[in-house]
Amino acid sequence: MRRVSWQRLSTQVVIATVAILVITMMAGFAVMQWHLKGQLNQQYEQRALAVAESLASQPAVIRGVEARRPDGTVQHLAMLAMGQTHARFIVITNARGIRYSHPDPALIGLPVYADPEPPATEPFRTGKAWLGIQRGTLGLTAASRQPIFTARGKAPVFDHGRLAGEVSVGFPTLKVSQQVARSLPALGALLAGVLAVGVLAALALARRLKRQTFGLELGEIAALLQEREAMLHGIREGVLGYDTSGRVLLANDAARRLLRLPPRFLGRPLTGLLPPGRLSDIISGEISGSDLLVVTGDRVLAVSRMPIRPDPRRHLGWVVTFHDETESESLKRDLDEAIGMTEALRAQSHEFANRMHTLAGLVELGQYDEAIRFVTDVSADRDALTEQLRAAIGDPRLVALILAKSALAGERGVELRVADDCRVDGAITGISEVLTVTGNLIDNAIEATAQAAGSRWAELTIVSAGADLLIRVRDSGPGVPDESEAVFTDGFTSKSSPTGARRGLGLALVRQIAQRRGGMVSVGRDGGAVFTVTLPGCLAAAAASEPMVPS
């Protein structure tokens, strides 16, 4: 036979349940026995008192106890009552406690108590009825040699309102124990049935627990929990799990850090832990897909959501993974920018080579005057744009970016214009953010306009107002969709990256920079698309322009 392992979950459940049932039933059995015995004692006490009161009210008994000496009448009445009621004894005394009847005739005529002062509870002294359990004076039982305890009832005897004696009736408590013993088999059978039902219920519970724990034992469950905790908190990706009602079940350290979860997040609904936005929509399932990009704070996350299904018929909830791609996306964007700069330099080189070929051809043809005019015009156009940018903007880094984008736009067949009202008064302090915003807006305008038919151009406007900077880019492209706010959503794009970087982050970063600085970004239509960004506190002009206050 297969040896039963005491370590099995089902065995422990059955043993624990049966042990609890047995202990509870034994305690209940003892309480019921004590309660039943108490009730029977009370019944016999009341019965004894009723017999005593009945005898105490009989005229013959009253006349008998009034006699100076016992004449046998009271004894005869007491013995008849004992035979009819099956009492253990009936003792009748006068007002001084002298026995006028007793089952042992030798005790008739003797006082009930040998002490000079009998107990104050005796009815022949108090005139009040009494009932309770007392040890009798009939000697020892023949079988066990133990004192006999009786349930007694004592009633006073009155003769025309004068206390004349008492009647004491007793029933042996042995009868009570016998009645309790007779009721025990039925009670034991009932408890045995309850125990059998409890054992069956324990077996059913053990099977249910076994099914719910997929047949795993306690040690295996503990090992799995330890492995899960080690895996969850050891991996760098964020993992968040929640049930079908939206309550958080688990979140590892990476998820808590990336989502900025509060210390007590387990069991709380997602709606109270995450701010409204794209991240919350992806986690809740309103936006479906895998590896969806989300810009939250200063991090770029790839989010995936999958259902938890132990089997096709059971759905327990969802698990969401967060992969921090900030560094990789930053490197890819830097590479994209480097490739863009390379394309701009290549365009400039190509443009310079074309002009050199034209100049060489004019020299070979002997058109020296035409060659001089050609060089002068080209130099004047380039110098005019450079001087315009230097005079209007001043910052050489921003000027270099615009010149490079102008060459790239010319290579794509797009004319990049600089508005006449461009004016930046003061040094730019947040130059990296200004370069990111300006470069992304120009790149988007070039990409959108290069595919358009007809006139293709993009216009840049940069204007300062105190310490604030306004950047606007217009183009002649097809414009933006009707839902213009969608273009600022993380991952929204219609282009592909040559480096494999995820597109659709440029405008999202523009909005993030503007919001971080307390500014705003908007998009509209004016033939093509019009993007406007305000960046507060980007210039050092405010402090320089403040009037001096004399001291």
Helix H or strand E segment including 321: strand 317-324
Nearest to 284 by CA among 293, 295, 273: 273
Domain covering 9-180, topology? Beta-Lactamase (3.30.450)
Please, are residues 304 and 318 in contact by the beta-carbon 8 Å criterion? no
Please, are residues 40 and 180 in contact by the beta-carbon 8 Å criterion? yes
CA-to-CA distance for 323 and 301, rounded, in angstroms? Answer: 5
Beta strands in 433-540 (DSSP E): 457-465, 468-475, 520-526, 528-535
DSSP character string of 344-412: HHHHHHHHHHHHHHHHHHHHHTT-HHHHHHHHHHHHHHHHHHHHHHHHHT--HHHHHHHHHHHHHHHHT
CA-to-CA distance for 60 and 433, rounded, in angstroms? Answer: 124
Q: Would you tell me how many other CB atoms lie within 10 Å of the CB of residue 321? A: 19
CA-to-CA distance for 333 and 326, rounded, in angstroms? Answer: 10
Helix H or strand E segment including 329: helix 326-364
Sheet holding 248-251, edge to edge: 248-251, 238-243, 317-324, 299-308, 292-296
Cα 354 to chain center, whole Å? 70
**Tokens at 43, concatenated:** 């019944």
- Note the pLDDT of residue 199: 81
Amino acid occupying residue 330: S
Residue bearing tokens 């151009």: 457
Pinpoint the alpha helices (H) of 393-495: 396-411, 431-450
Nearest to 89 by CA among 40, 135, 138: 138
Beta strands in 84-187 (DSSP E): 89-94, 99-101, 130-140, 147-159, 162-172
Helix H or strand E segment including 242: strand 238-243
Provide the sign of the torsion angle of the four alpha carbons 405, 388, 465, 428, taken in this order: positive
**Which class is domain 235-324?**
alpha beta
Three-state SS at 257: helix
Three-state SS at 92: strand
Please, are residues 101 and 79 in contact by the beta-carbon 8 Å criterion? yes
CA-to-CA distance for 417 and 383, rounded, in angstroms? Answer: 15
CA-to-CA distance for 113 and 343, rounded, in angstroms? Answer: 129
- Note the pLDDT of residue 79: 92
> What stretch(es) of the chain map to CATH 3.30.450.20?
9-180, 235-324
Q: Would you tell me how many other CB atoms lie within 10 Å of the CB of residue 529? A: 25
Helix H or strand E segment including 198: helix 173-212
CATH of 391-544, one of 3.30.390.30, 3.30.465.10, 3.30.565.10, 1.20.140.90: 3.30.565.10
Phi–psi pair at 463, nearest 5 degrees = -135, 140
Please, are residues 182 and 175 in contact by the beta-carbon 8 Å criterion? no
Please, are residues 413 and 443 in contact by the beta-carbon 8 Å criterion? no
CA-to-CA distance for 303 and 321, rounded, in angstroms? Answer: 6
Give 264's DSSP letter. Answer: -
Give 539's DSSP letter. Answer: B
CA-to-CA distance for 199 and 415, rounded, in angstroms? Answer: 89
Three-state SS at 462: strand
Nearest to 435 by CA among 294, 538, 536, 336: 538
Phi–psi pair at 474, nearest 5 degrees = -110, 155
> What stretch(es) of the chain map to CATH 3.30.565.10?
391-544
Radius of gyration of the chain (CA): 54
Sheet holding 520-526, edge to edge: 415-418, 457-465, 468-475, 528-535, 520-526
Local mean pLDDT, 10-residue blocks, the chain (551 residues): 57 80 81 78 87 90 86 88 89 89 89 74 86 64 51 89 90 67 74 82 80 71 74 77 87 83 85 80 82 76 84 83 76 67 66 73 77 69 71 82 80 82 83 85 84 82 86 85 60 49 65 83 83 86 42 33
Three-state SS at 312: coil
Give 127's DSSP letter. Answer: -
Query: Which pairing describes strands 317-324 and 528-535: parallel, antiparallel, or unpaired?
Result: unpaired
- Whole-structure pTM value: 0.45
DSSP character string of 94-114: ETT-BEEE-SSGGGTTSBS-S
Q: CA–CA distance from 236 to each of 249, 329, 390 (Å)?
A: 19, 17, 47
- Note the pLDDT of residue 139: 40
Query: Which pairing describes strands 99-101 and 89-94: parallel, antiparallel, or unpaired?
Result: antiparallel
